[in-house]
Structure 1
Amino acid sequence: MSRKQWTGWSAPRAGAEQAEQHYLIEPRHLAGGGDLRHVTEFLRASGWKDSSPRGGPFVFDSPDNQVCIGYDPHTEPGGWTVSGKAAGAQPSWHATFGRQTPVEIVAGVTDALTRPRSAHAPNAWAPLQQQDWTAERGEDHVFSAVHPGRDTWLQYRPAEHGQALWWAGARTDHGQTWDAVFTSTTPLYLIEAFATALADPQPVMRPREHVPSTSRIRTTSVSVLPSQLSAWQQARIAAARAATWARFATTGTRTPSAATSPYATARGRRR
């Protein structure tokens, strides 16, 4: 374990704030769930409607009401659900992420849902190949890409009982920690977005009390001021706001209502 000052942020002023100890964790897919606001605040800033019941699980609806994203820690197995309605040639689809799926990886999919689709043909395997994941072909034409550490995978399973699916997961020395399942009808660009976030070699940050207990991770201790951490979080939200309003300006569509406006004051924000 190494220790250093977090580079890229200005040095703290003496006596101004008390620095807090955080850890950069790699590989990111073993970092644990993380702060839910990494996903939810980005959705809110992107004009999604917070339909969460009071005291209940998170529920966010897209501006066109075609996609619903939820998080429920109380049910079994619990975690994230993302569902899309049928629209034109696109059938309905569904994806789930376990509670310990890192929010940065979940955000690969949820962030992509807030942006216009790219014109390029999606390739879910390319981001993994670029990071030296191993391509494998198993029985029954099951295709997989496996992390060099052999602890994480993305797999495509052809029709089984009439339903094909994409399946990803991660394990440590304590067993499997999370999995993600996508129905075969999930738009391929979302699978590519998920794979891109999954294969990203950049570490992710966790507070001291949320570092997973496993020998499979590498950690770097960093000193972070609360204001620095807040500034990083606000930069992500500001980017979502700017992209949302730029999209409304260029498409000429109706701007968000007061309830869904990314500039609206958020109520009942939970961690």
Structure 2
Amino acid sequence: MKQPDEQDRVLVSPRHLAGRGDRLSDVLGPLIHLFEWKHNHRPASGRVTVESPDGSTFVDFTPSGFDEPWWTIRHHEPYWKITAGRQTPLEALAAVTQALPQLLSDACHREQIPLASRSVTEIASVNSWTTEGTSITSADGHCTLHHRPDTEQPWLVESSVYDGFDTHWFASFEGDVPDALVRQFLAHLASTEPVERTLADVPYLSRYSARITPMHGSALGPHIVHALAALPSQPNPQRSR
């Protein structure tokens, strides 16, 4: 199979190694177009802000430095805030923002936007993440969800590939953040289903640890090839004789 070029579409797993992706519309679009939240776009800076109809909840996307928050989701009363860094996978963030209207008692489109029903530990277990004490870690050890109850920051997600350049990202959950949003985030982060990216979107150092399959070039289809690549290799019976 031909090796993909930088602009080729690929499937990537695990998701925490895939980089942020390019589906910004999945994070903000439903709030604006389906739920009619007010929004403001500043083309010069790329900043986009979205506000709930009742003025209680805000989503702020501000492209900035590598180590600074790019995303802020906050609620006034009770106070809580979620911040996330540049390479945070957009699938996990979209799962959070799309759930916001339901938490504000807007039941429209709830059938199209299901909420995660399992607990955090159950989500981790079914996706082969391991729990040790108050931390939950991905199977490859590169991503960890820290739970620190009774603190101002009860949940923190950190991910990096040996602290390599442009592989580090974080998501911080502060104040009285609803557990439903933590479950949404983890369910769409820890999922074993691959996500689609251009190869250029995948941080360079992450490519050595991630499983990457070209979207084109195989008669079996990319999802089948990607799934087969996860299977353990079998010994050659001819060589075992």
Q: TM-score range by the shorter chain?
A: 0.7 to 0.9
Q: State the aligned residue count.
A: 198
**Alignment counterpart, residue 198 of structure 1, candidates 189, 196, 199:** 189
Q: Any conservation in 1 of the 2:116–2:180 contact (CA below 8 Å)?
A: no
Shift of 1:150: 0.8
Q: Which residue matches 1:93?
A: 80
**Alignment counterpart, residue 156 of structure 1, candidates 144, 147, 160:** 147
Q: Which residue matches 1:52?
A: 41
Task: Write the distance in 2 (CA, Å) between the matches of 1:80 and 1:63.
Answer: 20
Aligned partner of 1:29: which letter? H
Task: Write the distance in 1 (CA, Å) between the matches of 2:186 and 2:115.
Answer: 18
Aligned partner of 1:178: which letter? W
The SS at the match of 1:125 is helix
RMSD between superposed Cα atoms in Å = 2.7
Q: Any conservation in 1 of the 2:28–2:94 contact (CA below 8 Å)?
A: no
Shift of 1:223: 3.5
Q: Which residue matches 2:239?
A: none
Shift of 1:173: 3.5
Task: Write the distance in 2 (CA, Å) between the matches of 1:164 and 1:32.
Answer: 24
Alpha-carbon deviations, 1:30-55, whole Å to 9, x = none?
11111222212222222221123453
Q: Which residue matches 2:238?
A: none
Shift of 1:210: 1.7
Mapped pair 1:223 → 2:216: yes
Task: Write the distance in 2 (CA, Å) between the matches of 1:133 and 1:170.
Answer: 13
Aligned partner of 1:183: which letter? E
Task: Write the distance in 2 (CA, Å) between the matches of 1:51 and 1:167.
Answer: 29
Mapped pair 1:169 → 2:155: no
Q: Which residue matches 2:29?
A: 41
Mapped pair 1:211 → 2:202: yes
Q: Any conservation in 1 of the 2:69–2:83 contact (CA below 8 Å)?
A: no
Q: Which residue matches 1:257?
A: none
Q: Which residue matches 2:51?
A: 61
Q: 1:63 to 1:41 in 2, by over 3 A?
A: same
Task: Write the distance in 1 (CA, Å) between the matches of 2:202 and 2:176.
Answer: 35
Q: Any conservation in 1 of the 2:17–2:202 contact (CA below 8 Å)?
A: no
Q: Which residue matches 1:133?
A: 129
Q: Which residue matches 2:231?
A: none
Q: Any conservation in 2 of the 1:173–1:216 contact (CA below 8 Å)?
A: no
Q: Any conservation in 1 of the 2:89–2:189 contact (CA below 8 Å)?
A: no
Question: Which deviates more from structure 2 when the two are superposed, residues 119-128 or residues 178-187?
Answer: 119-128
Q: 1:41 to 1:135 in 2, by over 3 A?
A: same
Shift of 1:133: 1.2
Q: 1:164 to 1:34 in 2, by over 3 A?
A: closer
Shift of 1:69: 0.4
The SS at the match of 1:83 is strand
Mapped pair 1:146 → 2:134: no
Task: Write the distance in 1 (CA, Å) between the matches of 2:96 and 2:177.
Answer: 11
The SS at the match of 2:209 is coil
**Alignment counterpart, residue 29 of structure 1, candidates 13, 16, 20:** 16
TM-score for the superposition, normalised by structure 2: 0.73
TM-score for the superposition, normalised by structure 1: 0.65
Q: Any conservation in 2 of the 1:58–1:70 contact (CA below 8 Å)?
A: yes
Q: Any conservation in 2 of the 1:51–1:60 contact (CA below 8 Å)?
A: yes
Q: Any conservation in 2 of the 1:84–1:94 contact (CA below 8 Å)?
A: yes
Q: Any conservation in 2 of the 1:166–1:184 contact (CA below 8 Å)?
A: no
What percentage of residue pairs aligned between the two structures are identical?
30
**1 or 2, which has the higher strand percentage?**
1
Q: What residue ranges of structure 2 are gaps of 5+ in the alignment? A: 106-113, 218-241
